[in-house]
Amino acid sequence: MPALRAAFPELEGESELFLVQAKRSHNLRRSVLAYIALTKPRIIELLLVTTVPAMMLAERGVPSLGLVLATLFGGSLAAGSANALNMYIDRDIDAEMKRTVKRPLVTGEVSPRGALTFGLALGAIAVAVLAVLVNVLSAVLALAAILLYVVGYTMILKRRTPQNIVWGGVAGCLPTLIGWSAVTNSLGWAPFILFGIVFLWTPPHYWPLSMKYKDDYANAGVPMLPVVADPKVVGKQIVIYSWAMVLWSFLLIPAADTGWVYTIGATLTGAYFLYEAHQLYGQAKREERELKPMRLFHGSITYLTVIFLAVAIDPLLRF
């Protein structure tokens, strides 16, 4: 830069202005990315995976693009609101955990007041969008999801009971009801069965992750089940919930009159999930020094994605 100034002295003011503008642009970009990180985009993706298939099952086909986009937009804002408020409340324990130490509130990229304002604003906009562009029932369900996650899970259950993720996971099940109600403006047995699949899926999805990071949770004082219970107990609970989930998933066949696509999808993915759950339980029973819980964690994401993909495709291939 000194050489540039010597060769072109007439550009000195402009170059300084360029540097200032570039720095401002860089800071703005970092700030925007930090606020996006508050919403936990990867979790939002998982929630949307359950919303669209519920809409397609309710429609028995493909709903209007406008309705889908409005529902996804409102649902994403609601999930982002819940996640941002969760980070605001948990910023003290996030600072104690290796897995969360780089979150924006811990690093100082976002202020607590900024995160709180951002989370509340997203929630208000989400409810308004769904109420105006979709229907009031979907808006009420989205508000319930935010309150259940922020108040029920984060503020009440998370730091008090090993069953936190079981009942706290109810909030993550509501996108199935939101998707269905967006199409029908009502609820029924089929969406509640989809709700139940996600509800029973949550513990065997999250407990393996908690097993991997149990020292983190212990240091932060969060009584996740793997922190307070022997691995064999955790493994057994995972197997019980896995079997309940797979058996429950077959209830959708009579309840929604699903066809061969869903039946095959539920059978194959269910068998895969049960195999991985029993493998992890076997490792715990043998008291292996190095458990491999992340196989089930990643496999559970595959399970949910594939079975809800089957839910979406099934109405399109009925003959």
How confident is the model over 192-201, as pLDDT tens digits?
999 999 999 9
Which sequence spans correspond to the domains of the chain?
Answer: 37-317
For residue 9, pLDDT beyond 90: no
127 exposure class (CB count in 10 Å sphere: 0-12, 13-18, 19+):
buried
Express as a percent the part of the chain with pLDDT over 70: 91
Specify whether the CB–CB gap between 44 and 108 falls below 8 A. Answer: no
For residue 7, pLDDT beyond 60: no
| pLDDT of the residue at 16 | 64
For residue 226, pLDDT beyond 70: yes
For residue 3, pLDDT beyond 60: no
| pLDDT of the residue at 18 | 58
| pLDDT of the residue at 12 | 55
| pLDDT of the residue at 227 | 93
Helices 260-285/293-313 angle, 10° precision: 170
Whole-angstrom distance, CA of residue 83 vs CA of residue 60: 32
Q: How confident is the model at residue 4 (pLDDT cuts 50, 70, 90)?
A: very low
pTM score: 0.88
For residue 2, pLDDT beyond 80: no
Give CATH for domain 37-317: 1.10.600
Mean pLDDT value of segment 132-138: 97
Express as a percent the part of the chain with pLDDT over 90: 74
The tens digit of pLDDT for each residue in 42-64 reads 877 877 889 999 999 999 999 99
Beta carbons within 10 angstroms of residue 191's beta carbon: 26
| pLDDT of the residue at 287 | 83
The tens digit of pLDDT for each residue in 137-187 reads 999 999 999 999 999 999 999 999 999 999 888 999 999 999 999 999 999
| pLDDT of the residue at 8 | 47
Phi-psi category of residue 61: left, alpha or beta, with phi > 0 → left and psi -120 to 50 → alpha: left
Among 194, 174, 172, which Cα is nearest to 58's? 194
The tens digit of pLDDT for each residue in 20-35 reads 565 566 567 788 888 9
For residue 41, pLDDT beyond 70: yes
